[in-house]
């Protein structure tokens, strides 16, 4: 029989950590010392990073009056290089079909995508980048990548590679557990 590690030890707060999540963990350690806080160390930090990225990662997109979810749709169309149905776009961008429909309407009004009805089933539509949409993505993608590289510039290259490897492992596990893109 193996001895169980006490919750306070498993979820021990790194006293040297100086981020917002560490502060939350210190507060919880005081309020409920019997809890294993180790999930907060990972999930809390992923969530916090995602929230911060939502605030700052869209600067070049804002210059083009484009929201991140619209950009994701245009990117999916550009990287596939052909037409996609709204349902496939929803899967590619991890968005609901209703959200994709709303975004497509705006992109179509701006002339960035075109829609054609399926020849066999008129209820199905196929979406493609317009020439203006392709030009926008081809102009914007290098700027966005440079901006995102700048966000990561304080993290050494080896740490970036290690973080990418760990996050890829987490994604593979979670997508298998919670569902993800069909392969």
Q: What is the block-wise mean pLDDT of the chain (183 residues), using blocks of 10 residues?
A: 46 76 94 94 93 80 90 95 92 92 96 92 91 96 93 95 95 78 48
Q: How many CB atoms lie within 10 A of CB 64?
A: 15
pLDDT at 178: 75
- The residues, any chain, with a CB within 8 Å of residue 136's CB and separated by 6 or more, are 64, 66, 74, 112
CA distance 104 to 107: 5
- CA 180 to each of CA 46, 123, 151: distance values in angstroms, whole numbers, following the listed order: 18, 26, 27
pLDDT at 183: 44
CA distance 48 to 21: 8
Question: Does residue 119 sit in helix, strand or coil?
Answer: coil
State the CATH class of domain 68-138: mainly alpha
pLDDT at 105: 96
Q: Which of 81, 80, 100, 82 is nearest to 90 (CA)?
A: 100
Specify whether the CB–CB gap between 75 and 138 falls below 8 A: no
pLDDT at 181: 52
pLDDT at 174: 86
Query: Which sequence spans correspond to the domains of the chain?
Result: 6-56, 68-138
């Amino acid at each position: 029989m193996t001895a169980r590690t006490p919750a306070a030890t498993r979820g021990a707060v790194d006293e040297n950590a100086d981020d917002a999540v560490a502060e939350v963990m210190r507060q919880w350690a005081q309020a409920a010392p019997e809890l294993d806080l180790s999930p907060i160390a990972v999930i809390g930090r992923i969530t916090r990073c995602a929230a911060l990225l939502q605030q700052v990662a869209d600067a070049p997109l804002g210059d083009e009056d484009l929201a991140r979810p619209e950009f994701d749709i245009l990117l999916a169309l550009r990287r596939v290089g052909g037409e996609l149905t709204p349902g496939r776009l929803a899967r590619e961008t991890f968005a609901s079909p209703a959200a994709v429909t709303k975004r497509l309407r705006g992109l179509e009004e701006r002339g960035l995508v075109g829609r054609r009805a399926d020849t066999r089933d008129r209820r199905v539509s196929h979406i493609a980048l317009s020439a203006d949409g392709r030009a926008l993505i081809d102009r914007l993608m290098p700027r966005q990548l440079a901006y995102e590289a700048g966000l990561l510039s304080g993290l050494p290259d080896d740490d970036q590679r290690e973080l990418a490897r760990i996050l890829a492992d987490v994604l593979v596990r979670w997508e298998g557990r919670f569902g993800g893109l069909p392969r």
